[in-house]
Amino acid sequence: MLEQIIITIATAATPLLIAALGELVVERSGVLNLGVEGMMVMGAVTGFGVALTTGSPWLGVFAAIIVGALFSLLFGFLTLTLVTNQVATGLALTLLGLGLSGMIGESFVGQPGVKLGTLYIPGLTDLPFVGKLFFGQDPIFYISILLTFGVAWFLFRTRAGLTLRSVGDNHGSAHALGINVIGIRYLAVMFGGACAGLAGGFLSLVYTPQWIENMTAGRGWIALALVVFASWRPVRVLAGAYLFGAVSIGQLHAQALGIGIPSQLLSALPYLATIVVLVLISRNRRLTMINTPASLGRPFVPDR
């Protein structure tokens, strides 16, 4: 029983972790993209549609990643090239993604999906308790863990990561040193979009292998909150994602046990937890300011 609960928590946390890691890299470059929800839902509908059409869940995963990256390019063009307001553009991107995915996925509603299978290693997956937990998960779960440490290594152990962080901390000084600020931000935005698309593809190919309109159900907003919760640190994002995953699964088990609390309130628990965490973090301004990219959300226009 406990093993199954932990596995479901890991499954619930995986899309939050992937989407939050992508947004963390975007924000470390100084760009605030509030369109995570829209990119996730576009990745979900595209991944489901391609997998259903081709019969291959892996093609669905790749399609979700590509569509997420392409959708983020629209955001990048508007905010980095045309210098539109990042907050307004991100919100518009979310609304566009939700509406467009609903239109594209209308014919997919009610159709059985193609599920991405789990890993099976003879002798290891069958081990009691730890077998399925460590050796019997879906491939995207392992990708999310590798991605966490890969992003941490890139940001804090490589020259390219240092360059990206310098752009996010002071884009004027970075430009003066000859760094291509806009180019780096475009790459960061595309990486964030690809991660959001992968997170969406996970929802429709692993978590619930079917298409339901607006199936992201606010997970993109939780991923945004996770970045702040983790103070822009990848390993803290991992811990935060599993915390929120546990809250999500906890409310489902509470409903199944028939606890005398309205189901609507239990369903709202993950979002209430998000609000509480943000309020607590905002009280410690020193902790927030230490890691916040100084140029976050500020437009950059190179000298001509």
Q: What is the pLDDT of residues 61-103, one digit of tens each?
A: 999 999 999 999 999 999 999 999 999 999 999 999 999 999 9
Percent with pLDDT over 70 in the chain: 90
Tokens 């990119």 — which residue? 39
For residue 299, is it within any domain?
no
pLDDT digits (tens, 9 = 90+) for 25-45: 999 999 999 999 999 999 999
Residue found under tokens 């901390």: 169
178 is a domain residue? yes
In a domain, 120, yes or no: no
Token pair listed for 217: 């159900």
**123 in a structural domain:** no
Q: CA 93 to CA 72: how far, in whole Å?
A: 9
pLDDT higher than 90, residue 134? no
Measuring CA to CA, how many Å separate 275 from each of 35, 226, 228, 263, 272?
19, 11, 12, 19, 5
Which 3-state string (H, E, C) describes 66-99? HHHHHHHHHHHHHHHHCCCCHHHHHHHHHHHHHH
Identify whether 300 is part of a domain.
no
Structural domain containing residue 93: 2-115+128-291
Report yes or no on 139 lying in a domain: yes
Q: Are 45 and 101 in contact (CB under 8 A)?
A: yes
Number of domains comprising the chain: 1
In CATH, what number is assigned to the domain containing residue 164? Answer: 1.10.3470.10
Q: Establish if 297 belongs to a structural domain.
A: no
Instruction: Answer yes or no: are the C-beta atoms of 171 and 298 closer than 8 Å.
Output: yes
Does residue 250 register a pLDDT over 70? yes
Confidence of residue 131 (pLDDT cuts 50, 70, 90): confident
298 within domain boundaries: no
